[in-house]
Amino acid sequence: MSTQLYDVIARRRDVRAEFTGEPVPDDVLLRVLDAAHRAPSVGMSQPWDFVLVRDPALRRTFRDHVATERDVFAGSLPPERRETFDRIKVEGICESSLGVVVTHTQSRGGTHVLGRHAIADAGLYSTVLAIQNLWLAATAEGLGVGWVSFYREDFLRDLLGIPEETRPVAWLCFGTVSHLETVPDLERHGWRSRRPLADAIHENTWQMKETDHA
C-alpha cells in the first residue's frame, strides 16, 4: 500500500492567510486541473468547468461582495459567537495566485443522464468530486486551496458572464503558500472541532450519536 495519498489527504487544509501570491507555473496548474477533470461523474456527464480568474479588478470586486456577505452572516450571530467569528479570516481572494471558479451545468450530458433519473443532485455531487480532486492534487504539488462560499450565485454569474443555466459552485483561492497549517483554522480559533470518526460510523441501521446535533 502506498501511504502517499493518505499523507496528502491528512495535509490538505483550507487556506486563507498563507497565500504568497507567487504565480503558479502553467504546467503545474494544468496538471492539477487534469486531476480535477479525471473525477468520476454520473453518466460520465462531466458537468464541471473551470474559470481561471487572474484579473485583479475582478478579484477585488468579488472580495468586496464577499465582505458584504460576511457582514450579513456576522449580523445573524449571538454576541459570543460573533466575537469568535470576528477573529476568523474567510477568504484569500486577492492574496492568492489566482481564483478558480468551478461551475456546474446540469444540462451537460443531455436529458438521459445514466444514473441521475432518481437523484438530480448526483450531477452536483460529480462537480464537487472534481473540486476534491483539484484540492488534493494542489496539496500534492505543495500549493494551497481555499473554498469561498460567502457569495450570492447571481452576483458571481453576472461578474464572470456565466450562463443562466450554469451554477458557480465554488470560488477557490488557489496558489503558492508559505506553509499549510496542521490544525484547521476553525478549530484553532475555537469555532468548531472535528467530530470523532466513531460517531460517524453506523452498523446496519442509523444509531443516534452524541454529536448528532452538536
Q: Is 104 an interacting residue with respect to ligand FMN (CB under 6 A)? A: no
Of 103, 125, 109, 120, which is closest to residue 40 (Cα–Cα)?
Answer: 125
- φ, ψ at 39 (rounded to 5°): -65, 150
Q: How far is CA 147 from the centre of its chain?
A: 3
d(CA 92, CA 181): 15
- Contact status: 13 vs ligand FMN (CB under 6 A): yes
Residues forming beta bridges with residue 147, ordered by sequence position? 172
In the range 131-150, which residues lie near ligand FMN by CB under 6 A? 147-150
What stretch of H or E contains 32?
helix 26-37
Is residue 167 a contact partner of residue 104, using CB atoms and an 8 Å limit?
Answer: yes
CB of 45 to ligand FMN, least distance (A): 20
85 contributes a contact to ligand FMN by CB under 6 A: no
Question: Does residue number 167 form part of the binding site for ligand FMN (CB under 6 A)?
Answer: no
- Under the binding rule (CB under 6 A), the answer on residue 14 touching ligand FMN is yes
| Residue window 21-60: x/- pattern of binding to ligand FMN, with contact defined by CB under 6 A | ----------------------------------------
Residue 91 grid cell: 477568504
16 binds ligand FMN (CB under 6 A): yes
Q: How far is the CB of 191 from ligand FMN (least distance, A)?
A: 8
Q: Is 90 in the site for ligand FMN (CB under 6 A)?
A: yes
- For residue 175, which of 15, 36, 24, 26 has the smallest C-alpha distance? 24
Residues that bind ligand FMN (CB under 6 A): 13-14, 16, 90-91, 147-150, 184, 186
